[in-house]
Structure 1
Amino acid sequence: MPERNIEFGRYGAGGIKGHQAVARQLDALAGYIATPVTARRGLLARLHYLTRTDHARAAARAAGLTVTARTLRAWLQGTRSPSRKNLELVERAYRTVRRENVARHLTARLNREGRGTRVEIHPLNQSQVDRPRQRVVEFRTLNVRRWDRIVAAWAADDDRALDDAWIDQVVDLGSQWGQYEYVTNVGFAA
């Protein structure tokens, strides 16, 4: 089962958990605003995204952005600047709302009406491991047909559920699936 590599990296191997690589790729597909929140342009873009409709404002409140309408107006007009803590709240709320908004679209694109999406799994980096301790781990591809649980866990920012959903898919690699618990990269496109 998952987490069999209790002492990962003990002999110098490098990599990240497979579900973290999947989350990173889904984040790239979500198309976040590139300008940082600390820049005026980035802050304004995020605030406009979070306040343009009643639904967006409600989602932002649910995501933790609970400042008053007066404060939001002052930030948008530039008469006041948010504190570092509020900048973090704006960024977290923006990412949460953006994930919720694109999750349904990503799920449909990745499922492709039951055909699924081809996933490339790049194995862990063993360049720093002594030769006798290296395992033979190769580049693998896998066609994932059911993305619903993976994308739902990513949208909810639930690391444990994402790990479980990803392991359920990686098991299709056969008896070697445990070798791909840690990877250097997971690539797919929607």
Structure 2
Amino acid sequence: MKGGQALVLELNRIVYQSGIASPIGSQRGQNARLRYLNSQAGRDELRAQGVSDRAIKSWYKGKSRPSKANLERLDAAYWVRRRANLIRSGWLKRHLDNSGQGRSVEIYPVDQSAVARGRERPNLTDRSITVRYVWGDLVDAWAAQDTDALDEIWDDIITDLDSDYAAYAYVSAVGISA
């Protein structure tokens, strides 16, 4: 995959790790998500996910619990709001910028095992570089789902790899030490 796509997956992982740890199937997980969504924006997102006003009122009054289908909608609404709140508050940018020190990014090259003998690049190894000053633009591009900007930012990141630059345009995975 392109490096920009790998960054999207990694940012999603960071958001999910920062959220509610209790599973949606547990009473605690359901209650935590309902508390998080207890705002106008949260209720609007529940509606956008297809939950009826009647069900929402019933949940908040404690008269019923979400059905299996509504559990998925509740969880989806939670993650949409969580992502939006982390972006809006600036937490994600500050977290990744790390007071100007940046974050270490681990780059895992494309798997060469399926490449024809003699055509593979045996010198490709996992790389780790410290990335600074791009996190604000990266989060903005991710929030806007601007894949072109994400690819440009990835190109800026791998430029520091000098002669190996082109070998890491496509990767199998990226990890951010967050």
Are 2:55 and 1:71 equivalent residues in the alignment? yes
**Is contact 1:60-1:97 (8 Å) kept?**
no
1:22 maps to 7
**Is contact 1:60-1:94 (8 Å) kept?**
no
Give the Cα separation in 2 of the matches to 1:131 and 1:61. 55
**Is contact 2:104-2:176 (8 Å) kept?**
yes
The 10-residue stretch of structure 1 (165-174 or 127-136) with the greater mean CA deviation from structure 2: 165-174
- Superposed, which structure 2 residues align to 1:95-174 within 5 Å? 95-103=79-87, 104-135=90-121, 136-145=123-132, 146-156=134-144, 158=145, 160=147, 161-174=149-162
TM-aligned CA deviation for residue 36 of structure 1: 4.4
Q: SS of 2:99's equivalent?
A: helix
Q: SS of 2:177's equivalent?
A: coil
Q: What amino acid is the match of 1:61?
A: D
Give the Cα separation in 2 of the matches to 1:143 and 1:184. 19
**Is contact 2:36-2:42 (8 Å) kept?**
no
1:188 maps to 176
**Is contact 1:37-1:43 (8 Å) kept?**
yes
Taking every aligned residue pair, what percent have the same amino acid on both sides?
Answer: 39
TM-aligned CA deviation for residue 88 of structure 1: 4.3
Q: Normalized against structure 1, the TM-score is what?
A: 0.70
Give the Cα separation in 2 of the matches to 1:166 and 1:46. 34
- Superposed, which structure 2 residues align to 1:17-96 within 5 Å? 17-30=2-15, 31-37=18-24, 40-51=27-38, 54=39, 57-58=40-41, 61=44, 64-65=48-49, 67=51, 69-76=53-60, 77=62, 79=64, 81-82=66-67, 84=69, 86-96=70-80
TM-aligned CA deviation for residue 134 of structure 1: 0.5
Give the Cα separation in 2 of the matches to 1:59 and 1:186. 31
Q: Normalized against structure 2, the TM-score is what?
A: 0.74
Give the Cα separation in 2 of the matches to 1:182 and 1:78. 51
User: How many equivalent pairs are there?
Assistant: 169
Q: SS of 1:186's equivalent?
A: strand
Aligned-residue CA RMSD in angstroms? 2.9
Q: What amino acid is the match of 1:43?
A: Q
TM-aligned CA deviation for residue 121 of structure 1: 0.8
**Is contact 2:45-2:81 (8 Å) kept?**
no
Give the Cα separation in 2 of the matches to 1:166 and 1:59. 33
Q: What amino acid is the match of 1:177?
A: Y
TM-aligned CA deviation for residue 127 of structure 1: 1.9
What per-residue deviation string (whole Å, max 9, x for no partner) do you get for residues 38-74 of structure 1? 55543333222111xx3xx325525834645542132
